[in-house]
Amino acid sequence: MTDVQFVTENAFGELGLTVTSTFSLLSQFITSLDARSIKAPERPKDPPNTFNLIGDSAKLLKAQVTKLSLLVLNRPFTPTAITRILRDISTGCLPALMGATDLVRQKEDGHILFYIIRAPIRRLFRQMINVMGEVPLHETQVAAVKKTDRGTLVSTGIVWETCDLLIEMGKTGLVGIVVQQAQEYRDLLQDAIAELKEWTESAKRPELNLSDDFKEVSEMREYSISSWAEGLEGNQFGYPSVIPENDPKLQAHVEEVVKKLQRVDLIYPPIIKRRLRRFPANLASSDHCQSHTQLELLEFAMETLKLIPEEVDELAAACYQRDHEEIKSQLANVCDRAVKTMEGLSLNWQAEPDEFTEWSKKWLRIMKET
């Protein structure tokens, strides 16, 4: 064996060990994030800002993965350089991202923060496992990798996308995240309403006869964003594409459902503008107990805004199945949840009345009267 061959084999050996240890680290982190309850390490005396840590770590990881992909695709192949990058990643970016989840998990009031940041970080760890799988561990594997290797390019691009999400999370913090999520939940609700409305072959949206205060809703439409979810497609379940002509009772019932759901839809823009966007940013990163109540209320709001479109899907299924009792029951559940959401958010984050409080009173009165 020549000196060159020995050095090359030794370099590939070091690379293989580094890839294996990085695999193990990622698997360990994913297992920890999946655990329902786990004791986090002791919280440091002066912890960094969670969102700054996430954004900075994601930015660094994106740069490192970019260099890694270039080294994998370009020639000559340098296993020692790749080993250095993987070591930097496994001792820097990855533990830092995991540390961000530990920081919020250690907080008494960090439940909502943990579950919000866990999903994209866990997804990123799984994507990094795919990136590791694209690294050649022997000269014969190097020869098989081309400059336009699709596997390497795709896995790198997916990591970039998640890193960009985390970088944006670092900029916007908790408020930006919950606003985006609420907008997505509303999109899902509107998809279901549009499907039901089309199913009734209704040419005109029912009049709501609400107060002038609801003009605010139209001003806030700009806050809506495109939905990432597909609408409910009735035909794929074998349901009729239109309501049978000989079932006027169902027609009336579904039109009533659409009308009430449109009223439920009205709560999203004001909640986004008057509550979520105005959540005190300092409370999101605060370690003081005073933030506990506000974060609990925020968690309640996000959970109910999420559950409403999920329950509307069940309501839509009952409509397609022409189950009048189930329609009545599911509609009551949806309206009930919307009412409780508005009652819970009636006061602002300082537990004081404001313009939203008056708006919610009018909306609640109309919902309870009907």
Return per-residue pLDDT of the chain as tens, 370 residues.
443 444 467 888 999 999 999 999 999 999 999 875 556 556 667 778 888 999 999 999 999 999 999 998 888 889 999 999 999 999 999 999 999 988 877 554 456 677 778 889 999 999 999 999 989 988 878 877 765 567 788 899 999 999 998 998 898 888 888 898 899 999 999 999 999 998 876 434 444 554 444 554 444 443 332 322 233 333 443 445 555 555 678 888 999 999 999 999 999 999 999 999 999 866 555 444 445 678 788 889 999 999 999 999 999 999 989 899 999 999 999 999 999 999 999 999 999 999 999 999 999 999 988 7
Residue type, 116: I
Neighbours of 140 (CB within 10 A): 8
pLDDT of 175 reads: 86
Kindly tell me the sign of the dihedral angle through the C-alpha atoms of 144, 150, 153, 158: negative
Spatial separation of the C-alpha atoms in residues 122 and 35, rounded to whole Å: 12
Residue 273 backbone phi and psi in degrees, to 5: -75, -45
- Nearest Cα neighbor of 68 from 82, 84, 89 is 82
**For the whole model, what pTM was predicted?**
0.65
pLDDT of 39 reads: 60
Spatial separation of the C-alpha atoms in residues 188 and 176, rounded to whole Å: 19
pLDDT of 9 reads: 75
Burial of 112 per CB tally in 10 Å (0-12, 13-18, 19+):
buried
Contact 220, 176 (CB under 8 A): no
166, two tokens: 């985390």
pLDDT of 146 reads: 66
Contact 128, 94 (CB under 8 A): yes
For residue 166, the number of C-alpha atoms closer than 13 Å in the C-beta half-sphere is 34
Q: Give residue 370's Cα distance to chain centre.
A: 34
